[in-house]
Amino acid sequence: MKNSILPWPLKILMPGALLLSIPAFYLVLAGPGLMYRHVGSGLYLAVAAMVAIDLLIRTRTQGWHDGVVTLNAMFFFGAVLSAWPGNPPWSVIEWTLRMAFCGIVFLRLSMLLGEYLVPRRLLHVVALAIAVLAVAGAGFLWLEPRVHTYADGVWLAFITGATVGYGDLVPSTPASRIFAAFIVLLGYALFSVVTASISAMLVGEDEKRLERELHADMRMLRREISLLHKELRSSHPESGGEDVDTAGKELLRV
């Protein structure tokens, strides 16, 4: 019973916690008022609760020696510490700790994206990339004062994630620059996953074609051996065909 229900919490909790940690970070960093920072702290506590449940399930099934469990434990403590809103501007130590936590979030997110490196999930990856682009556009619209429309936000997210950088729109505030840095890293990850999935799909098609050709060659070889067997029997009627039958069976087994 437990084995049938355990995979579903593990598939839902960690992606949800990772996604919630992104708005939590920016609400605490760039919230226009104290209420927004409190909302960000509440999201961090929700993230910590979700990761705690994930840890409880994983430690019962995998133990503490698994590397993913250790990384999730670091994620949990980082979320708990990040729930303290502080008073912007942050000190150097606080910036360092929060950036380290963001690095853990990005690493864990990259590990989750790695699970989609299979051809049959290409559409899922493309849908995820579109969703990330849409969310990133809204993020730039909120964080960057030079972005006045949602379309401009999506455009800035695209040229940032694709590392094109035409120069017509650039991040100008600390919050939008940090956001842009993570969009670049996330863009690299998503583009890598998409291209790897396409490559895997093409390689898989080549493997299927070679397998079909191999089976066709084997069937043709069996037919030729069968014809050779019949010719040998017809050319040696005096032996009664017993020796030929034995040799033919041995050939057909190959």
In a domain, 223, yes or no: yes
- Please report, rounded to a whole number, the percentage of residues in the chain having pLDDT higher than 70: 77
pLDDT at 247 over 60: no
Q: Which two tokens stand for residue 117?
A: 């490196």
In a domain, 228, yes or no: yes
Per-residue pLDDT at 248: 54
pLDDT band, residue 252 (cuts 50/70/90) = low
pLDDT in tens, 200-209: 767 766 677 7
Mean pLDDT, residues 197-223 taken together: 76
Per-residue pLDDT at 241: 52
Domain end residue (candidates: 72, 101, 130) = 101
pLDDT at 118 over 60: no
pLDDT band, residue 46 (cuts 50/70/90) = very high
Task: Select the more confidently predicted residue: 85 or 13.
Answer: 13
Mean pLDDT, residues 51-69 taken together: 77
In a domain, 146, yes or no: no
Task: Compute the mean pLDDT over every residue in the chain, rounded to the nearest whole number.
Answer: 77
Q: Which two tokens stand for residue 56?
A: 């409880």
In a domain, 33, yes or no: yes
Per-residue pLDDT at 45: 92
In a domain, 159, yes or no: no
In a domain, 90, yes or no: yes
Domain end residue (candidates: 101, 124, 145) = 101
Mean pLDDT, residues 35-62 taken together: 85
pLDDT band, residue 115 (cuts 50/70/90) = low
pLDDT at 193 over 80: no
pLDDT at 39 over 80: yes
Structural domain containing residue 215 = 206-253
pLDDT at 60 over 50: yes
In a domain, 144, yes or no: no
Q: What is the C-alpha end-to-end distance of the chain, expressed in Å? A: 46
pLDDT in tens, 126-159: 777 888 888 888 888 888 888 999 999 999 988 8
pLDDT at 16 over 60: yes
Gap between the Cα atoms of 133 and 145, Å rounded: 19
Domain end residue (candidates: 34, 67, 101) = 101
In a domain, 196, yes or no: no
Per-residue pLDDT at 5: 45
Number of domains in the chain: 2
